[in-house]
Amino acid sequence: MYKSLIVITTCLILIISYQSLNAETVSSNIITGVHPGKVVYETYCLTCHQADGYGVPGLNPPIVKTEWVLGDKNRLINIVLKGLNTPINVNGQTYRNPMPSHAFLTDVEIANVLTYVRSNFGNKASAITTAEVQTVRAAK
């Protein structure tokens, strides 16, 4: 009885670990309930786009309720991969700061953060998959 309990527990741990390692958009953060894209957002995006996603007037554009985020997925993925070095017009306002390339992020991290951004801050748009990021990265 004692032995089989150990076996079951070990199996459970192994299954959980395996799932954590392999899940694309579901990482070990599922235990804490935090969206994995949120972690990426807070590390790499929040400083410029701010905690509320509204950015900085005149400098860093908002990621809330804009076609740049809710529209064409490929264009959005490309901005993350290549950055933007020209002023951008969002909802009638111009933003001047450049956005650096974030090609150093993995395809999984990019898919996670874009899925998070497209479904938070009042945004309601479909998820972006790792495969979609892979395709855009390969095409550049």
Contacts of 25 (CB under 8 A, 6+ apart): 36, 37, 108, 111, 112, 115, 127, 130
26 vs 51, which CB is nearer to another protein? 51
56 vs 79, which CB is nearer to another protein? 56
Show the tokens assigned to 115.
């899925």
* Strand-pair partners of 90: 93
123 vs 135, which CB is nearer to another protein? 123
Q: Nearest distance from residue 102's CB to another protein, in Å?
A: 9
Q: Nearest distance from residue 84's CB to another protein, in Å?
A: 11
Q: Nearest distance from residue 47's CB to another protein, in Å?
A: 5
- Rounded CA separation 124/131 (Å): 21
Phi, psi angle pair for 88, to nearest 5°: -120, 140
> Which residues contribute to the site for another protein (CB under 8 A)?
42-44, 46-48, 50-52, 54-60, 62, 83, 86-87, 96-101, 104
